[in-house]
Amino acid sequence: MSQTDYQNAAANPFLLQTAASWLAEGHQLALAFVMQTWGSSPRPAGSIMLVRSDMRVEGSVSGGCVEGAVIEAGLAAMESGSGQRLDFGVADARAWEVGLSCGGRIAVLVTPVGGQGVGAEMLQGTARQLAERQPVRLSFDADSGAPVSAPTEGEASALDEAANRFDFVQLPLPRLVIVGGVHISQHLAPMAARSGFQTEVIDPRSLFTNPDRFVQIAVQTGWPQDILADQPPDAETAVVTLSHDPKIDDPALIAALNSPAFYIACLGSRRTHAARLERLGAAGIAADQLDRLHGPAGLNIGARSPAEIAVSVLAQLIQAYRSRAG
């Protein structure tokens, strides 16, 4: 994975979607972005915190140590209609109060939604882009937080001190498609979601897509080849088939192997996998494409229970995701 992996996942795109929802509900709010860090600062550039006028807060810019000061600045930005840059570090006496005495420094940009800050149309546009799994790139004056027309082509959020500009980049969250709402999936789906993957479960059998089986996980009842045709895997997508039924798994694997998905895996014994490779080859999948298929899925950790198998699959998935650095 490139340097944008969890650095950008840390700037949770759902926070911008939450901000758009809050705005639509009539709330006043401000956005806070980590622009740059030095030393032991706990949150990377691009991390976001939302501050609402009724003191509701989502996200984090420091893991807790400068949040109080940022909330105050957010409330002030809503009142004045303009934002400001905040710098914390050990050279600043206030840094000891906010918990950066261990040597870290952090630059935070606070900007209101409305006024001279982020406009409603811009915020709603970013929410639409993220819902469509499109990257978001915004640029701000690094002192006032006012948006500027200097879109970046970069792959990570960064502060340009020379231009006095903060370029915010948010790539879509990595996506995990699990085919088969089986017992292993009930463990894998929530673990993957907590690990930062936008997770969904697909199964044509409604019994296995009962929402009670997958609390707070997106489930879709339908044939995976149809759903993946409408929502094709991109380079940030992983596909794992767990149903054990070739009628369900094979079409999903064909769709995944014909896509740029970064990880494709399937459950089953080595003998089952050999038979699967024969079927996929007969269906027209080339040998070099079949080499992309992880089967049996998961790292060899001696897993036996459904939960242990889910751990092994998630570990291999993260390994594949992290190892894409060039």
For residues 18 and 138, membership in a common domain is answered with yes
C-alpha separations of 240 from 85, 165, 292, 294 in Å: 44, 41, 12, 9
Position 5 scores a pLDDT of 34
* 189 and 271 within one domain: yes
| Tokens (6 digits) for 236 | 């940030």
pLDDT digits (tens, 9 = 90+) for 165-175: 999 998 888 99
The predicted pLDDT at position 132 comes to 86
| Mean per-residue pLDDT, 181-201 | 95
Predicted local distance difference test score (pLDDT) of residue 97 = 54
| H-assigned helices in 231-269 | 246-257
d(Cα 39, Cα 107) in Å, to the nearest integer?
Answer: 12
Confidence of residue 163 (pLDDT cuts 50, 70, 90): very high
The predicted pLDDT at position 1 comes to 29
Mean pLDDT of 300-322: 95
Q: What are the backbone angles phi and psi of residue 64, rounded to the nearest 5°?
A: 125, -25
Percent of all residues in the chain with a pLDDT value above 70, rounded to a whole number: 88
pLDDT at 9: 38
* Residue recorded with tokens 């082509």: 153
**CATH number of the structural domain spanning residue 193:** 3.40.50.720
- CA distances 29 to 79, 147, 170, 265, Å, are 10, 16, 20, 42
| Residue-level pLDDT at 81 | 96
Answer whether residue 307 shows pLDDT above 80.
Answer: yes
Flag whether pLDDT at 195 surpasses 50.
Answer: yes
pLDDT(240) > 80: yes
179 in the same domain as 166: no
Q: Does 220 share its domain with 318?
A: yes
Lowest mean pLDDT of 60-74, 81-95, 184-198, name the range: 81-95
Residue 74, burial from CB neighbour count under 10 angstroms (0-12, 13-18, 19+): buried
pLDDT higher at 284 or 105:
284
* pLDDT tier for residue 3 given thresholds of 50, 70 and 90: very low
What pLDDT score does 170 carry?
87
**Res 318 pLDDT > 70:** yes
Q: Which of 139, 170, 201 is the last residue of a domain?
A: 170
Answer yes or no: are the C-beta atoms of 177 and 228 closer than 8 Å.
Answer: yes
State how many domains the chain has: 2
pLDDT band at residue 4, thresholds of 50, 70 and 90?
very low
Check pLDDT > 50 for residue 11.
Answer: no
Confidence of residue 8 (pLDDT cuts 50, 70, 90): very low
pTM: 0.71
Cis-peptide, bond into residue 233, ω within 30° of zero: no
* pLDDT for 105: 81
283 neighbors 232 (Cβ within 8 angstroms): no
**Same-domain status, 74 and 207:** no
The model's confidence at residue 14, banded by pLDDT at 50, 70 and 90, is confident
- Domain residues for 135? 5-170
The rounded mean pLDDT for the chain is: 88
Q: Is the pLDDT of residue 10 over 50?
A: no
- Candidates 252, 238, 256, 259; CA nearest to 173 is 238
pLDDT at 255 over 80: yes
Among residues 138, 154, 170, the one where a domain terminates is: 170
**164 and 22 assigned to the same domain:** yes
Same domain, 19 and 166: yes
**Does 163 share its domain with 186?**
no
Given a cut of 90, whether residue 103 has pLDDT beyond it is no
What average pLDDT score do residues 56-79 get?
88
Residues 135 and 189 in one domain: no
Boundary-marking domain end, from 170, 204, 221: 170
Residues 162 and 228 in one domain: no
> In terms of domains, do 140 and 58 share one?
yes
The pLDDT score that the predictor gives to residue 43 is 76
13 — pLDDT class (breaks 50, 70, 90): low
179 and 158 in a common domain: no
Q: Inform me whether the pLDDT recorded for 6 exceeds 70.
A: no
